[in-house]
């Protein structure tokens, strides 16, 4: 069993950290009890980003959320990138580290998106090997996030919940449950999000994500939801979230808003809504 260094996140609302909110967060964090950063934005050598992060880390537990490891990639993990991650986790000692069930790099090119993979015994083995490697190098347990997906693969032979459950059981990693992603993928893949959540192995969940999405239409005129992280959390997602918390108890819950970032009070309002759900079961 791996050492869970960093102490874990508090079962409170958190928000994704945006530099434009630095002063507002310190002046009035509201119900926000922790902050999440994207690992890759803090891999520079110095300057304001690292200075701000050092300052915030004295006051808030920090969650490091990677977007570039390409854990679902066919190629070997990038050892230089893994080393940079180790350096960041080394000096920051974050309360949590998480990454995605996705790939983003191929043949040396970084595509800057969370790309989907088919769920098969071969991809399961590869993802597990990559997670074992990450946990070995970092010396900590990681959380793996369920994706938003827009396409299906004819190769897929396992359903996503079973795939994630297998990963958690084989590697000992935890899971990051993004409830908006469940809703988005549910609409896009034509499954019932509630039933997905009822089968989800909640005992492995170390963190929840809530975010907004955009709406479009697919090739045949069916609803197609796009995970945009650029809007408020919609009511059906809040309802699914309340359902999860009622079942699992309070969990660290992130309000994720990365594009068209609003003023700080808007994020505080979203965090307050999550806080009410958490307090109802505390």
SS3 label, residue 160:
helix
| Ramachandran bin of 234, using left for φ above 0, alpha for ψ from -120 to 50, beta for the remaining angles | beta
- Estimate to the nearest angstrom the gap between the alpha carbon of 46 and the chain centroid: 25
How far apart are alpha carbons 240 and 255 in whole angstroms?
15
Q: Which is nearer to another protein, 33 or 116 (CB)?
A: 116
Binding of residue 106 to another protein (CB under 8 A): yes
How far apart are alpha carbons 166 and 160 in whole angstroms?
10
> Rounded to the nearest whole angstrom, what is the least distance from the CB of residue 166 to another protein in the complex?
21
Task: Determine the size of the site formed for another protein (CB under 8 A).
Answer: 52
Binding of residue 226 to another protein (CB under 8 A): yes
CB-based contact 136:98 (threshold 8 Å): no
Q: Which is nearer to another protein, 58 or 154 (CB)?
A: 154
Pairing of strands 143-145, 174-178: parallel
Q: Which is nearer to another protein, 156 or 194 (CB)?
A: 156
Task: Identify which range of 90-98, 108-116, 247-255, 261-269 contacts another protein by CB under 8 A.
Answer: 108-116
Residue from 81, 130, 141, 204 that binds another protein (CB under 8 A)? Answer: 81
Which 47-76 positions form the footprint of another protein (CB under 8 A)? 47-51, 67-69, 73-75
Binding of residue 152 to another protein (CB under 8 A): yes
Q: Which is nearer to another protein, 11 or 184 (CB)?
A: 184
Pick the closest to residue 229 from 261, 270, 206 (CA basis).
261
Contacts of 93 (CB under 8 A, 6+ apart): 5, 6
Q: Interface residues with another protein (CB under 8 A)?
A: 40-41, 43-51, 67-69, 73-75, 78, 81, 84, 103-113, 115-116, 118, 150-155, 188-191, 216-220, 222, 224, 226
């Amino acid at each position: 069993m791996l050492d869970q260094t960093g102490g874990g996140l508090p079962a409170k609302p958190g928000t994704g950290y945006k530099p434009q909110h630095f002063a507002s967060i310190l002046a009035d964090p509201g119900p926000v009890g922790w902050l999440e950063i994207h690992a890759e934005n803090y891999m520079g050598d110095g300057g304001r980003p690292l200075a701000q992060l050092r300052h915030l880390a004295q006051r808030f537990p920090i969650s490091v959320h990677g977007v570039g490891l390409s854990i679902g990639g066919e190629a070997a993990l990038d050892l230089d990138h893994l080393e940079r991650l180790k350096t960041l986790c080394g000096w920051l000692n974050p309360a949590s580290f998480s990454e995605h069930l996705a790939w983003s790099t191929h043949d040396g090119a970084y595509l800057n998106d969370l790309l989907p993979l088919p769920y098969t015994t071969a991809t399961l083995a590869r993802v597990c090997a990559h997670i074992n490697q990450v946990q070995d190098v970092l010396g900590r347990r990681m959380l793996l996030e369920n994706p938003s997906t827009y396409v299906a693969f004819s190769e897929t032979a396992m359903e996503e919940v079973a795939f994630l459950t297998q990963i958690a059981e084989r590697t000992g990693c935890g899971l990051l449950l993004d409830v908006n992603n469940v809703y988005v993928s549910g609409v896009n893949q034509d499954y019932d999000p509630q039933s997905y959540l009822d089968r989800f192995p909640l005992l492995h969940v170390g963190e929840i994500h809530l975010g907004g999405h955009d709406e479009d239409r697919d090739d045949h005129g069916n609803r197609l939801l796009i995970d945009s992280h650029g809007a408020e959390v919609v009511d059906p997602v809040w309802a699914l979230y309340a359902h999860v918390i009622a079942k699992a108890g309070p969990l660290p819950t992130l309000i994720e808003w990365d594009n068209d970032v609003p003023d700080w009070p808007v994020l505080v309002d979203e965090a307050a809504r999550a806080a009410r759900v958490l307090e109802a079961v505390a």
